[in-house]
Chains A and B, each alone.
Chain A
Amino acid sequence: MKHLLVVVALGLSLISLNGFATPSYKVTVNGMVCSFCAQGIEKKMKALSETKGVYVELKNHLVVVEAKEGSNISQDVIKKIIKDAGYEVKSIEVSEHPIEHIKSGMDK
Chain B
Amino acid sequence: MFTYNFRLWVIALILLPSRLVFSAPMGFEGSTMTMADFNQNWREVGFNYAITSRDALGLTHLEFRSDDHKDKREVDTLNYTRLLSRWNLTDAQSNLWLFMGLGEIRGSIDNQNIDSKVIASSGFQFDYETRRVYFATTHKLYRASNLNHDTTSIRAGFSFYEADYDQTQPWFILETKYTNQISDKIEVIPMLRLINKNIFVEGGVNNSGQPRLNLMYTF
**A residues whose Cβ falls under 8 Å from a Cβ of B:** 30-44, 56-59, 61, 84-88, 90
Contact = CB atoms under 8 A, between A and B. Distances in A.
B27 interface: yes
Contacts of A88: 88
A64 B55 CA distance: 27
A36 B166 CA distance: 10
Interface of B: 23-24, 27-29, 31, 53-54, 83, 86-93, 129-131, 162-167, 169, 195-200, 216, 218
Given A40-B31, A85-B53, A30 B164 contact: no
B83 A86 contact: yes
Which 9 pairs from chain A and chain B are nearest by CB? A40-B28, A31-B88, A31-B93, A56-B165, A88-B88, A30-B88, A84-B53, A36-B195, A35-B165
B contacts with A: majority SS? loop
Contacts of B196: 35
A27 B24 CA distance: 23
A39 B164 CA distance: 12
Nearest to A29: B88
A86 B197 contact: no
A37 B197 contact: no
A36 B28 contact: no
A36 B200 contact: yes
Contacts of A30: 88-90
A22 B46 CA distance: 44
A84 B29 contact: yes
A58 B198 contact: no
Contact of A36 (B92, B164, B197): B197
Contact of A35 (B89, B91, B169, B216): B169
Contacts of A84: 28-29, 53
The CB with the most chain B CB atoms within 10 A, among A31, A41, A42, A90, is that of A31
Contacts of A44: 28
Contact of B165 (A43, A58, A90): A58
A90 B29 CA distance: 21
